[in-house]
Amino acid sequence: MSKGHQVTVYNAHHHPYKQRKWKGVQIIHCFDGEQFIGTAGQFIYDLNCIRDARRKNFDVILFLGYTSSSVWGRWFPRNAAVISNMDGMEWKRRKYSGPVKRFLMYAEKLAVKYSDHLIADSTAVQQYLDRKYNKQTSYISYGAEIAETENEAALQNYGLVKQGYYMLMARMEPENNIEMILDGFCKTSSVEKFIVVGKISNSFGKKIAEKYRKDERIIFAGGIFEQNTINSLRKYCKLYFHGHSVGGTNPSLLEAMAGGALIAAHDNEFNRAVLNEDAFYFSTADEVMGLINTNKLREKAAGIICNNLKKIKEQFNWPAIVDAYEAVMIECHKAKR
């Protein structure tokens, strides 16, 4: 748009935004059957988008993810350069059954086969793709914005005080290691509270809430969508636990960094690729307990928080990411002609 490109975005027919344009971006609404038949509806939606794209004269098509689009790879428009953001390694998620994991690995292979170029939002994912498929891949990170608003008074709604609580924010899924983190917390005699932000309406969320309901220190706050409140909770917690163990660069991790949180992250290649040495790490409930019991967290806090804010400003910022995507698209379009 501001760079002189015409941009079109596909959107589900039931999305609340019904206009055909947004800030100059063309919006095409395609039928999405997910609300009627569940997950299978995603495949119908992607097919409808691809069928429409075949009638257009697009120079470049960008797929953000591949799970339900790559199976239609034979029908991708041939004249357009096809770029796929490969997201995380979905087949690693513990919530999926064996057959689903095998399908996801198959879908990944199809995405590689039918794409002209691949994008990874994590250096760890890029290394995996390069190693497994030996196909050219660009690393373009996800982004975040420095949190500008916070209000210590927002803590009062949850009975919290500045530097007097721990926090995690995640979808209630096994691979986010919520149980490991809370098990470690429960092993301590800490008088501080632990706030868990995220909907608990799925089966795993209900299981977790039931398991820890007798520990009055643990607060299940559900989903919180008011940005000032989230910024405040991150900013003033004693330690922010990030348990995500699969996927690429996780948006909630970048947002915690941008919010000035002191972070303890699950020790894996994805988190280390983002945080490097600017975090505390854990792999077991006992290591979580050790972090909570130590009195030395604040000794390194200022330097760690400052370094992570610098990363957001210099590396994980949206203007640089937009420029990187534009450069890849222009190059892929030239190669396709």
Rounded Cα–Cα distance for residues 280 and 200 (Å): 27
Q: Is the pLDDT of residue 38 over 70?
A: yes
Asked whether residue 147 is domain-assigned, the answer is: no
Asked whether residue 304 is domain-assigned, the answer is: yes
Host domain of residue 97:
8-142+318-336
pLDDT of res. 89:
72
| pTM of the predicted structure, to 2 decimals | 0.89
Asked whether residue 295 is domain-assigned, the answer is: yes
Asked if 72 and 94 sit in the same domain, the reply is yes
Rounded Cα–Cα distance for residues 6 and 242 (Å): 38
Q: What CATH number corresponds to the domain at position 17?
A: 3.40.50.2000
Asked if 185 and 292 sit in the same domain, the reply is yes
Number of domains in the chain: 2
pLDDT band at 221 (very low <50, low <70, confident <90, very high): very high
Q: Is the pLDDT of residue 232 over 70?
A: yes
Q: Is the pLDDT of residue 90 over 80?
A: no
Strand pairing category for 25-30 and 117-120: unpaired
Rounded Cα–Cα distance for residues 111 and 106 (Å): 9
Asked whether residue 1 is domain-assigned, the answer is: no
pLDDT of res. 93:
74
E-only strand ranges, 170-217:
193-197
Query: Which structure tokens are listed for 10?
Result: 């596909």
Mean pLDDT of the chain: 93
Q: Give strand pairing partners of 20.
A: none
Helix (H) or strand (E) holding 231: helix 227-236
| % residues pLDDT > 70 (the chain) | 99
Asked if 131 and 165 sit in the same domain, the reply is no
Distant-in-sequence, close-in-space partners of 326: CB < 8 Å, separation ≥ 6: 3, 5
Q: Quick one: which of 281, 248, 251, 253 has its CA closest to 267?
A: 281
